[in-house]
Structure 1
Amino acid sequence: MQKGIKPASLGPDLKAGLEKAMKRKGFKGWDSAAAAAVSFRELVMDVGLKNQSHKCIWCTLLVGERGRRTAHRDHIAPKSLYPQWTFLPENIAISCEFCNGFMVKGDLDTVSKVDALYENSEFLIVHPYLDDIGVHIGFSEDEAKIPAVIFGLSERGKWTISRLKLDSDFMTLQRAREILIDREYSKLREEDQDRVRSALNFGR
């Protein structure tokens, strides 16, 4: 899991627009075509990708064009079970299609106790915004000092790793591969990094 990530922040106009839209008859929730709902979805995706360095919040692998993995707006507490938090930025992070898929997280119930205030609720999953990730999850290094092997430091950490299958051989291999690529890339001269970025159309 990624550490020190912050959620998107809503401006007063968007917040007011959302509140107004949700009161309208026939409002279709997350899939609504209302301008405020569309703007909200775009905001959490754009800010999430930037804040998370285009990496999945759970497995830390690259998403979007940079990782060739679809980026999902992942409701930490699933909106199907907790619709009251559907448009709460603190309940949304960017994940890959595998971690957010029905075979892994999907509609998995991640809440142990609901409170009127979201931040006072208790979660089964390690929460990327509300928890100190390092208290719950760690990474061990191999002989090449590649911190790809994940392990739980708490019961919630172990629950998160197990339920999201973050310790599978496949995920461990993918993390190691991306760490090695980043490591070798950082050793390149700046002009060579520019050539790589240009070839991959990443930009600066």
Structure 2
Amino acid sequence: MRRGVADADLAAVEAVLNEPDTKGWSSQANCVKNFKSEIMTQGLQMQSSRCVWCTLEVAEEGHRTAHRDHIAPKNPYSQWTFTPMNLVISCEYCNGFKVKGELDTVSVCAEQYANSEFLIVHPYIDDTSIHIQFVDNEAGYPILIEGLTDRGIWTIDAMSLASTHMTKQRAQEFIFSRETEALAAADLDILKRALDRQD
């Protein structure tokens, strides 16, 4: 199992889904809420609070909101709605209807999820570095994205990862991160001098 979602949690979710008038992913049953909460918590931790697609920083609240994203969309792949391996954390832009939304990412639907074939580079099944890489722009910032395989190119195109908007967002984040690190180091140096400590 990809995540540490307990078998008991999955069994409880399955029991709720078998009840009449179930609402599936939108169910307010505690076991469904707990499952979704655990997916968010573990996903943010596993992905270092970054969108699985564009790699930009996300959080449960704030400027770039974290979403639970179904790699194979809930429609028409409802059988995988609660499959942990089908869930990643993405930003609201990448998961939104203008980009991924209900994009069909599956080329061959098998009975077992892991035996299916995907059009998109699957972050848990594939070695992403074989399909996609970030390359430096003219200023030396690793913000440009390049497809190395047909699936990498499909993923970049379908997810608009090389758009001007996303490239600017990555550049802004890279510059902000670099400047923040430099500022933090300078503040630490001032603090050490104030305390007359050189180590």
- TM score, norm. by length of structure 2: 0.87
**Which structure has the higher relative contact order (CA within 8 Å, separation 6+)?**
1
Flag structure 1 segments of 5+ consecutive residues without an equivalent: 1-5, 194-204
Change in Cα spacing, 1:38 to 1:99, as seen in structure 2 (3 Å) is same
**Root mean square deviation, CA, Å:** 1.9
Q: Measure how far apart 1:38 and its partner are.
A: 0.8
| Bigger mean CA deviation after superposition, 12-21 or 60-69 | 60-69
Measure, in 2, the Cα distance between the counterparts of 1:190 and 1:116.
53
After the TM superposition, which parts of structure 1 deviate over 2 Å for at least 4 consecutive aligned residues? Answer: 6-9, 64-67, 142-145, 183-193
Residue equivalent to 1:73: 68
Q: Measure how far apart 1:187 and its partner are.
A: 3.2
Residue equivalent to 2:7: 12
Flag structure 2 segments of 5+ consecutive residues without an equivalent: 189-199
1:154-189 deviation per Cα after TM superposition (whole angstroms, max 9, x unaligned): 001000100110001111111011112222333344
Residue equivalent to 2:194: none
Change in Cα spacing, 1:118 to 1:189, as seen in structure 2 (3 Å) is same
| Bigger mean CA deviation after superposition, 176-185 or 101-110 | 176-185
Matches within 5 A, 1:183-198: 183-189=178-184, 192=187
Measure, in 1, the Cα distance between the counterparts of 2:80 and 2:68.
13
Measure, in 1, the Cα distance between the counterparts of 2:21 and 2:5.
24
Q: Measure how far apart 1:67 and its partner are.
A: 5.8
If you compute each CA radius of gyration, which structure gives the higher value, 1 or 2? 2
Amino-acid identity (%): 50
Q: Measure how far apart 1:59 and its partner are.
A: 0.7
Residue equivalent to 1:140: 135
1:114-145 deviation per Cα after TM superposition (whole angstroms, max 9, x unaligned): 11111110000000111000010011113432
